[in-house]
Amino acid sequence: MARLEDVAKAAGVSRGTVSNVFNRPEVVRPEVRKRVRRAARALGYNGPDPTARLFRGGKVNAIAFIMGGDGALFQVFTNPYGRDLLAGIASVCDEHGAGLALVSDLGREKEWAIRNVIADGFVLQRIEDLAHIEAARNRGLPFVVLDDDPGPDISSVQIDDRDGARQAAEHLVRLGHRRFAITTVLRADPAVLRKRGGDPVFHAPARAKRKLVESSPVEDLRLAGYADALKTVGVSINSVPLVEIVSFNTPAALSGAALLLDQAPETTGVLTMSDVQGLAVLEAARQRKIRVPHDLSIVGFDDNPEAALCDPPLTTVAQPIIEKGRAAARILFEGVQPQKVVLPVKLVVRASTAPPRRSGSTTSGRRTRFR
């Protein structure tokens, strides 16, 4: 493979001149320029080796999106959340004429991708381990964390989880609900999961703050938002039955939903952490012949496409996914100092919520365990 030097020799000029021909053609005399170009063509030389140029301090001209989990790349094109998020990032890349690298840490030591990605900056999905932040910082490249705020000097893009949750709970409160239940999810850290086992855990109402096994900032904020709204009608979040689910997937959500409905049958309004969970509660209710929204109101979170298509369509909190992607990418391209972006969310009311039945009439045979 021809090198800069070979072309220089062939054209009878120095390396520096050939470099200039390719990088700043205007500084070399047209005649020389032509000679160099001819020599380059003759040798099949396509211009400076991108790899060497990069090493010398150049830019990759691409940003990376780093994700975790098996088959992550495929998922990103397949599930609606990932697709929208990436579409947002991609649109900003388009505007800047930059590329977009998708990388997962698949089958490698956790931080491998962070340490080895070749890009000018990167977007980190919700991180589970503070060591990742440390690795990212050591990498010396600009980066943005999504859905989390991992520290004061780190850029992040989040949605207003607390406000979204507050809106959702307030909606139920306004409809007249007073007996709530919540499904949440614990941080998907494999080590914790292994220790804990795969079953959801039911937390009965308590006087004091219940200790949840492990919760991430996003869930904490949403819990806080639920608490805000419930407090306005004198309901303490600690008195609300709560199920902690071990994973983000549907089967886990389903078993959590079943547990919740069985353990807290007097519930009239369920607040969740995702549409997956909301849909799971919907399904569990169907299996138990609990009518939604007549007997039970359910609110999701995220506004996945499925939320609009299920029966009944799910009331949920819509987040601006594309805009989230755009904001993250913009920070990478334009941002100098760390930025914090918090995007607004909006409650989308559909048919899975309604006023509760008149209190006292427990016609559908559901027992009251907590009052």
Partner DNA sequence: ATTGAAAATTGGAGCGCTCCAAACTATATT
Partner DNA sequence: AATATAGTTTGGAGCGCTCCAATTTTCAAT
Contact residues for DNA, defined by CB under 7 A = 1, 3-5, 12-17, 19-20, 22-23, 27-29, 32, 48-49, 52-53, 55-58
Please, what is the minimum distance in Å from the beta carbon of residue 317 to a copy of itself? 23
- Residue placing its CB nearer to DNA in the complex, 12 or 69: 12
Give which of 43, 353, 336 is closest to 173, Cα–Cα: 353
Q: Which residues bind a copy of itself (CB under 8 A)?
A: 1, 44-47, 50-52, 54-55, 60-62, 64, 70-74, 76-78, 83-84, 86-87, 90-91, 93-94, 97, 99-104, 106-108, 111, 113, 115-118, 135, 138-140
| Dist. CA 232–CA 356, nearest whole Å | 18
Rg for the chain, CA atoms, rounded: 27
- Residue placing its CB nearer to a copy of itself in the complex, 18 or 253: 18
Please, what is the minimum distance in Å from the beta carbon of residue 176 to a copy of itself? 41
Beta carbons of 309 and 325 less than 8 angstroms apart: no
- Residue placing its CB nearer to DNA in the complex, 54 or 101: 54
> Considering CB distances under 5 to 8 angstroms, the limit depending on partner class, which of DNA, a copy of itself, none binds residue 44?
a copy of itself
> Considering CB distances under 5 to 8 angstroms, the limit depending on partner class, which of DNA, a copy of itself, none binds residue 115?
a copy of itself
> Considering CB distances under 5 to 8 angstroms, the limit depending on partner class, which of DNA, a copy of itself, none binds residue 29?
DNA
> Rounded to whole angstroms, what are the CA distances from 236 to 180, 216, 301, 364?
10, 21, 21, 27
Please, what is the minimum distance in Å from the beta carbon of residue 13 to DNA? 3
> Considering CB distances under 5 to 8 angstroms, the limit depending on partner class, which of a copy of itself, DNA, none binds residue 42?
none
H helical segments located in 44-158: 50-55, 72-78, 80-96, 112-116, 130-139
Please, what is the minimum distance in Å from the beta carbon of residue 181 to a copy of itself? 37
> Considering CB distances under 5 to 8 angstroms, the limit depending on partner class, which of a copy of itself, DNA, none binds residue 249?
none
- Residue placing its CB nearer to a copy of itself in the complex, 10 or 270: 10
> Considering CB distances under 5 to 8 angstroms, the limit depending on partner class, which of DNA, a copy of itself, none binds residue 139?
a copy of itself
Beta strands 242-245 and 201-203: pairing type? Answer: antiparallel
Beta strands 155-159 and 242-245: pairing type? Answer: unpaired
Beta carbons of 275 and 301 less than 8 angstroms apart: yes
> Considering CB distances under 5 to 8 angstroms, the limit depending on partner class, which of DNA, a copy of itself, none binds residue 72?
a copy of itself
| Dist. CA 163–CA 224, nearest whole Å | 9
Q: Extract the tokens encoding 56.
A: 């010398």
Please, what is the minimum distance in Å from the beta carbon of residue 34 to a copy of itself? 18
Interacting residues of 218 by C-beta distance below 8 A, sequence separation 6+: 126, 147, 148, 158, 161, 273
> Considering CB distances under 5 to 8 angstroms, the limit depending on partner class, which of DNA, a copy of itself, none binds residue 131?
none
- Residue placing its CB nearer to a copy of itself in the complex, 76 or 206: 76
- Residue placing its CB nearer to DNA in the complex, 53 or 110: 53
Please, what is the minimum distance in Å from the beta carbon of residue 8 to a copy of itself? 18
- Residue placing its CB nearer to DNA in the complex, 31 or 153: 31
CA 289 to chain centroid, in Å, comes to 34
Interacting residues of 128 by C-beta distance below 8 A, sequence separation 6+: 68, 187, 188, 189, 216
Rounded-to-5 percentages of helix, strand, coil across the chain: 45, 15, 40
Which is it for the CA torsion 127, 112, 252, 319, positive or negative? positive
| Dist. CA 68–CA 30, nearest whole Å | 51
> Rounded to whole angstroms, what are the CA distances from 187 to 48, 203, 363?
46, 17, 38
Please, what is the minimum distance in Å from the beta carbon of residue 38 to DNA? 14
> Considering CB distances under 5 to 8 angstroms, the limit depending on partner class, which of a copy of itself, DNA, none binds residue 90?
a copy of itself
- Residue placing its CB nearer to a copy of itself in the complex, 151 or 198: 151
